[in-house]
Amino acid sequence: STAAGQGVHRPRQTPGALLASALAAVAERPVELRNVALSGAMSDDLERQVTLLLSERELSEAPDVCVIMIGANDVTHRMPPARSVRYLSDAVARLRTAGCEVVVGTCPDLGSVEPVGQPLRWIARRLSRQLAAAQTIAVVEEGGRTVSLGDLLGPEFSANPRELFGPDNYHPSAEGYATAAMAVLPTLCAALGLWPTEDERPDSRRREGVLPVARAAAEAAAEGGTEVTGMRGPWALLKHRRRRRLPPPEEATPQHEREAERR
């Protein structure tokens, strides 16, 4: 649902469109967006989505980068974590084999969903965090990068439910999706070599560094907005990238769409 932008009314408000517009602004070149996300899908649908994405083009013309946001429905539908992670790992491996960079926004914090009461909210938060850590390990092992969304979005959504949740009080609003996209954007740029090289060095003042993969995954799951990138052997680089501002809606909207809205 998050990748598809469930709950917003305009295509440009979806995370995919927001990231594509911001990436085009950073790279100063056109960006083609293809979105195969399906609202309500669980990780077992990733095989279909990746097949659809790769079959649209020759292997030599695979996408430069793929952003995956998955996990919430796995928790709510009680899919076993090992099975969920296996599907994600297979999807990342296929994309990497095709030459595609992969950025995964790990399972969000379901404990921030307003209608969920205690103790279910505590359980949902615990399960979400456990899945996010397991996803991180699997993605890094296959050569992808992860961005933890749970703890980053949780406090913001809890503090601003009217602004960041949509009318159903479950899916994010346009502002909520923009918050998620803003968290993913720095890692997306780094994966494509569009981030300043000096920012690639870990900064101990920001609690960044090279850690065992399992420890990096646990720390990332506990603190939102944290990127984990694999290194040689059982090591991973943990970074807290500074968020980049998304382009204003006027800049992110194609000229012909702005003119149509004015009419």
Q: State the catalytic residues.
A: 1, 168, 171
Cα–Cα dist 236/263, whole Å: 52
Identity at 73, one-letter amino acid code: N
Cα–Cα dist 213/185, whole Å: 22
DSSP state of 172: B
Q: Which of 197, 208, 205, 204 is nearest to 239 (CA)?
A: 208
Q: Which of 194, 246, 197 is nearest to 64 (CA)?
A: 194
Tokens of 43: 């990780």
Tokens of 14: 């979806």
Cα–Cα dist 234/93, whole Å: 17
Q: What is the dihedral of CA 138, 171, 238, 182, to 10 degrees?
A: 130
Tokens of 204: 């101990």
Q: 109 and 95 in contact (C-beta within 8 Å)?
A: no
